[in-house]
Amino acid sequence: MSRFFRRFSRKKDIPKKLWVQCPGCSATLFNKKLKENLHVCHECDHHFQITGRERISQLVDENSFQEIENDLESNDPLDFMAGGKAYKDILKKAQKNTGEKDAVHVGECLIGANKVMLGVTDSHFIMGSMGCVVGEKISRAIEKAHELKCPFISVSAGGGGARMHEAPLSLMQMPKTAMALSRFQGEGGLFISILTHPTMGGVMASYAALGDVIIAEPKALVGFAGPRVIMETIKQTNLPDSFQSSEFMMEHGMIDMIVSRGKLRDQLISLLAYLTPQESLTS
């Protein structure tokens, strides 16, 4: 009898990560349902961070993304150390954890049958920071859009800004991407910039802020130096409500629209139909 009770009193194995708590409203969310809702909380509309690959699958026409420049990776020319750790080791860990070589994917794709060049940064790879590889791939994607005479769309999630591990080499990517955009836009190229949580530092201070149309997800942190950095440097804590949120930036004229993730693809299709000359469309 005791053996019987012991057998049926054992706890059943519960799969890990079956549920997740929303950081916005503390609701307990079923992961499968959360994924079906594009990783947006159905209770408070909190937008969870997602990978670059997930972002691409949500936006582009099925099986249309043709990635380019995927062989580029940083080689640590400065032998940089950060917090007692070698940059080479930080890179290897990020590559192992994400399965990616660096923090951005670029490629040609279709969005609602409109041909575009797409660049998507991934905050899971060293905070989506912009080092030499990210800057180079974004610049090449812009040049490819120029060559194909199609729009360029970027989705930014660069909470790390310019990558400090590459020092001045990372800062050089800011003017490089800006110059590539200047040539592209100067000859009539369309650039749509999408800001997600968080888009900060050198990413926001360069190409991400230069869109002909700038879209942000709700409640995304958008700006140059965030509240924590401001407090640590100039000791300023009395900041406006919702400071550097996408809503704050919208109110002050820094972005054009705020679009929830579930409506983003349809919004892009509408913008491309309205702003793109017919000869640059595939159908």
Tens of pLDDT, residue by residue over 122-165, are 999 999 999 999 999 999 999 999 999 999 999 998 777 889 89
Same domain, 135 and 207: yes
Q: Over the range 173-200, which residues count as b (16 or more CB within 10 Å of their CB) and which as e?
A: bbebbeebbeebbeeebbbbbbbbbbbb
Q: How confident is the model at residue 118 (pLDDT cuts 50, 70, 90)?
A: very high
pLDDT tens-digit map of 6-17 = 554 454 555 667
**Three-state DSSP class for residue 22:** coil
Question: Which among 123, 78, 83 has a CA at the least distance from the CA of 104?
Answer: 123
> What phi and psi values does residue 66 have, to the nearest 5 degrees?
-115, 100
Same domain, 222 and 185: yes
209: domain CATH number is: 3.90.226.10
Question: Which among 51, 55, 49 has a CA at the least distance from the CA of 23?
Answer: 49
**Three-state DSSP class for residue 43:** coil
Q: Name the residue with tokens 């961070």.
A: 49
Domain hosting 230: range is: 50-280
| Distance of alpha carbon 47 from alpha carbon 40, whole angstroms | 5
pLDDT tens-digit map of 40-98 = 999 999 999 999 999 999 999 999 999 999 999 988 888 998 778 999 999 999 999 99
pTM given for the model: 0.88
Same domain, 187 and 107: yes
Same domain, 13 and 95: no
Helices 132-148 and 173-186, packing angle to 10 deg: 10
pLDDT over 60 (residue 282): no
Same domain, 100 and 65: yes
Q: How many structural domains is the chain composed of?
A: 2
Give 63-129 as a DSSP string. T--EEE-TT-----TT--EETTEEHHHHHHHHHHHHS-SSSEEEEEEEETTEEEEEEEE-TTTGGG-
Same domain, 155 and 202: yes
- The count of C-alpha atoms lying within 13 angstroms of the C-alpha of 243, restricted to the half-sphere facing its C-beta, is 13
